[in-house]
Amino acid sequence: MNYMRQLIKLLLAISIIYVTAVPAHAAVEGRLEYHIPLDYTKLSQEELDTKAGFYYNLATKNYSGKLNDDMTTALNLYMMLHRKNPQNTFYSTRLGTLYDLLGQDKYARGCFEMALGVDSSKPEPYFRLGEFYYKRMLYKKALKNYKEAYKHGYTEHYETLYKLGDIYAKLGDTEAAIKYLRLAAQKNPNAELDNKLQRINAANATNREYYSDTRIRLIEK
C-alpha cells in the first residue's frame, strides 16, 4: 500500500494541472506543466474517453520528438481521466506510453509500475514496460516483462512474440528465438521475419553466435 501511495504521489508530482481556457504546456523547474481547457471539464466520461483516444492516436502516430498540441492534449485528457479513476490501469498505462515517447523515463516507468501495482493480471502494462526497456537496450529486463505479457494473455500478440524471439536471438538462445519468431510468423507472415528466421536457423545449425555485432548490456540490476 505504501508503494502504491508513493507511485501515485510521483505521478501527481510531475503534473500541476490548472483549469484554464487555453491548452498549453511549459517546462517548469524540470517538470512538465499541463493545462486542461474548461470545456473538457464539462464532458461526460464517454466523451472524455473518445477525445483522449483520438488525440492519443494522433500523438503516437505523428510524434516528431517534440511536445506538440496533439501530445499535450492527450496528456491533458489522460491525466484528467486518471485523476478521476486512479484504479483504471488503462489510463495510467497510456500516460506511461506518452511519457515514454517524451523521454520522461522516470515518469513513464512510474506509470507502468503503478498500473501493475493496481492490477498485475493485465498484459498491456507488462508489454509497455518491456518496450520501455527494449528501446534502452536493457534486454534482460525487457525479456522479463515480455514474458509476463505473454503469460498474462498476449500469447497471440505479434509484437510480444516478435520481441521475445528477437531478444532470445540477441542473447544467443537460438532455439527459444526460433520458437517465438515462428509463432510471430503465424500471426503476421512477412519477408523480413522469414529472413530473420533463416539467419537464426543457420546460426543455430552451425552453433555460431547470432547478432555478434549487437552490444548487450550484461550488467543490469
pLDDT, tens digit, 9 for 90 and up, residues 77-118: 999 999 999 999 999 999 999 999 999 999 999 999 999 999
pTM for this model (two decimals): 0.78
* Domains by residue range for the chain, with CATH: 1-120 (1.25.40.10), 141-212 (1.25.40.10)
The helix-helix angle for 69-84 and 89-101 (nearest 10°) equals: 150
Averaged pLDDT for residues 124-142: 98
Tens of pLDDT, residue by residue over 46-81, are 999 999 999 999 999 988 888 888 999 999 899 999
Note the pLDDT of residue 144. 98
pLDDT tens digits along 159-205: 999 999 999 999 999 999 999 999 999 999 999 999 999 999 888 77
Torsion of CA 56, 58, 62, 65, to 10 degrees: -30
Number of other CB atoms surrounding residue 67 within 10 Å: 17
* Inter-residue contact 93 to 111 (CB < 8 Å): yes
